[in-house]
Structure 1
Amino acid sequence: MQSSVAERSIEARVNRTRRFATALVLTTGALLGQPALGQDVRSRTDVQWIQAVRQAAQRVNYQGTVVYQAGGSMRSSRVTHLFDGTLSHERMQTLDGKPREYIRRRSGVDDEVQCLIPETRRVVVEHRKVGESFPGLSSASPEEILERYTLKLGEVERVAGIECQMLTLEPKDSARYGYRLWVDRATGLLLKAQTFNERREVIEQIAFSDVRIGERIDRSKLRPAWSTEGWTVERSDHRKADLAEHGWLVPTPAGFRKTREVARRIGGTDAMQAVFSDGLATMSVFIEPNSLLSSPSGMPGLPSAEALQVHGPTSAYSRRVGDSLVTVVGEVPPATVRTLAGSVEFRGQR
């Protein structure tokens, strides 16, 4: 059976927590000095706290083990991160499941990420926006985040033996989850993050179990464990798209903004994606034509009407619109993806 793009997208988001040990969720940036937060950290404004976390993710060297927990699964990764004064460089090694390494180079507006897959001798290369992964918090401005969330200062607690200031980002409506952050008081580096639902239950956690901050890092520690000479290099084939030109109306959900529209060519047909963000949470709308959804009679896996999947903070909802399958995936409550999926319309190609 040929699986559809949306199914693979849902599986990729869910299996990120199961197989890849937070793969691209964990990789981020850091730096040679330690930007001090100042002694009276409790006097910082909400904007200054968010700025401090963003700056530290770019400007603090660190090495440590990150543990990711969601939906009853737990995975760990080893992360080494260096800033050379111009670029950030990072190596992430999965410690569970199949061996994987992620080599990230960060500059300006985006990151180049290489995923090394030794059993098939492949290197998969893609580009991602800066600051979209732990401990980077977000690439959005503090002001944008604070439009949707209220920041509350909590107690001082230890994470991995380091004193941290606990911050809570309370959602201002039910369309998104809340977050708790534990920030190193000395450097501003985010050491632990939790996502909680409307019942204040923790549904996702990412945290350092051990970490060394601010030490000089030898570049040899950034080299992959395997020589990639002779390996196949695969580059992301995403390109810009305009869903409206293809006849699709995808309304921007309240409290979010559209960040990009892209398409991938599969089997001679475009599968399209629109991405929305509220500064912290993201949602993606995947639209796949019927030609990509065919499967042998009687084979399960393709939704005949509507389908909902939830794993940790990730919700995915699919529905058919005409001859296409519309799937919304995001780190938001199920009702939010269901509402967005229900608002998508096909009005005929221009």
Structure 2
Amino acid sequence: MHLPIPSAFRIPGRLIAAWCCLAPLGPAAAETPQPAAPVTTAQARVPERSVSEWLLRMHEASKLRSYIGTFVVLSSNGGMSSARIWHACEGNQQIERVESLTGAPRSTFRRNEEVVTFLPETRVVRTEKRESLGFFPSLLKSADSSIPEFYGARRLGHDRVAGFETDVVQLAPKDSLRYGYRIWSEKKSGLVVKLQTIDVDGTVLEQAAFSELALDAPVRMDKLNQMMGATNGWRVERSEAVKTTPEAQGWQMRVPVAGFRPISCYKPPFAGTQAPDGALQWIFSDGLAAVSLFVEQYDKQRHVQEGQYASGATQTLTRRIQDWWLTAVGEVPPQTLKAFALGLERRK
């Protein structure tokens, strides 16, 4: 679960205002939630929510609430970033502004699938259309998934995050192909306010949370739309990946990876010109975790070393496949990317 974060503000791996309550990551950093209050007779009649019920509640909350907040991501490898976010929604329309607080200055606006990024240092605006795979604090990447087959859920207790009372829920994987998650969701609405990605040993690989949050804030959609379109005086660079199919590009998954379904496949607009012919991005998801396979023609000058490395919760694998070069990226265990690499096959 890639900790879902606004697309324009993904750090390598899955963002820090000086948030001293974050302890160093690792088994000791997995705070122990307060035990749930004693259950009354009336409460005992209410069944525990299933994994699907928890996730649906959290997902809907992210679509229905307007808010302003500062969120922070801390990775186990020491990576830290933070951003300020303004989110507004009216019916099925959603728009958000994300202002980076660390690293190079940038302001990113996302309106449904349209993304506009302002880079003030170069006075460049980049526009693109991008399908959402679920961004923080939204968790679901695919409505058509078999999440209950591969994850179980249980409530651990309660806690306070950014001044809000929360339920703490553990999502545990049922196999070794995916990570587990610990989620703090605001009690009244279900909005996710904190999330940890956890490996099989219980180590916290990455943590994202609101350090400050104002729910139902007066965020005006018309004002955000106006800011999003204010490109006069900026150099506008437009990029729109071309949808395709792996079959049309000559690829197939000979051996599927359990639980992961193909979501979409894109051919970059530059493919076939200066870039290697057939370059593509093939995206898979199990409903929570996502994996991207980037395939291009092998170039001995650029593609020097095969290997696998981690950055927080994100794993990256590079491998040569005949005359092609694969780069697999995902917030999944190393063996999952290896399974994708072994299953990918060039069609005759």
**Superposition TM-score, scaled by structure 2 size:** 0.80
Alpha-carbon RMSD: 2.7
Task: In structure 1, give the amino acid aligned to 2:347.
Answer: R
Match of 1:8 in 2: none
Partner Cα distance (1:285, 1:258) in 2: 11
Q: What CA distance in whole angstroms lies between the structure 1 residues aligned with 2:312 and 2:92?
A: 36
**Other-structure match for 2:253:** 250
Equivalents in 2 of 1:336, 1:191: separation in Å?
A: 28
Look up the match of 2:62.
57
The answer for the alignment partner of 1:89 in structure 2 is 95
Q: Distance in 1 between matches of 2:209 and 2:190?
A: 15
Distance in 1 separating the partners of 2:96 and 2:156: 31
Amino acid in structure 2 at the alignment position of 1:338: K
- Distance in 1 of aligned mates of 2:181 and 2:297: 36
Whole-angstrom CA distance in 1 between matches of 2:247 and 2:13: 35
Kept in 2: contact 1:54–1:131 (CA 8 A): no
What is the TM-score normalised by the length of structure 1? 0.80
2:238 to 235, 240, 252: 235
Percent identity between the two aligned chains:
35
CA–CA distance in structure 2, aligned partners of residues 229 and 205 of structure 1: 38
Tell me how far apart the structure 1 counterparts of residues 128 and 232 of structure 2 sit (CA, whole Å).
19
Selected match of 2:286 from 278, 292, 304: 278
Q: How does 1:133-172 map to 2 (within 5 A)?
A: 133-141=135-143, 144-172=146-174
More helix by share: 1
How far apart are residue 248 of structure 1 and its match?
A: 2.3
Amino acid at match of 2:323: D
Q: Which runs of 5+ in 1 are unaligned?
A: 1-12, 23-38, 296-300
- Find the partner of 1:210 among 212, 219, 225: 212
1: CA distance between counterparts of 2:63 and 2:166?
Answer: 18
Letter of the aligned partner of 1:336 in structure 2? T
Q: Is the 8 A contact 1:303 1:318 kept in 2?
A: no
Q: 1:260 aligns with which of 260, 264, 268?
A: 264
* Residue type of the alignment partner of 1:283: V
Deviation of 1:302 (Å): 2.5
Structure 1 residues 256 and 142 mapped into 2: Cα distance closer, same or farther (>3 Å)?
A: closer
Alignment-mate amino acid for residue 235 of structure 1: R
CA distance in 2, matches of 1:286, 1:130: 18
Unaligned runs of 5+ in 2: 1-6, 17-41
Pair 1:102-2:105 in alignment? no
1 CA distance for matches of 2:339 and 2:14?
29
2:303 counterpart residue number = 302
Distance 2:229 2:150 in 1: 44
Letter aligned with residue 79 of structure 2: S
Amino acid at match of 1:244: E
Greater RCO (CA < 8 Å, at least 6 residues apart): 2
How many residue pairs were aligned?
Answer: 307
8 Å contact 2:14–2:206 — kept in the other structure? no
Conservation of the 8 A alpha-carbon contact between 1:203 and 1:312: yes
Contact 1:303/1:319 (8 A) holds in 2: no
Residue 32 of structure 1 is matched in structure 2 by none
Q: Provide the C-alpha distance between the structure 1 equivalents of 2:64 and 2:230, rounded to a whole number of angstroms.
A: 29
**In 1, Cα distance between the equivalents of 2:165 and 2:201?**
28
Provide, for residues 278-337 of structure 1, a one-character-per-residue CA deviation record: whole Å limited to 9, x for no partner: 0000111111013xx353xxxxx6234x21121111111111112110121111011110
The equivalences for 1:172-183 within 5 A come to 172-183=174-185
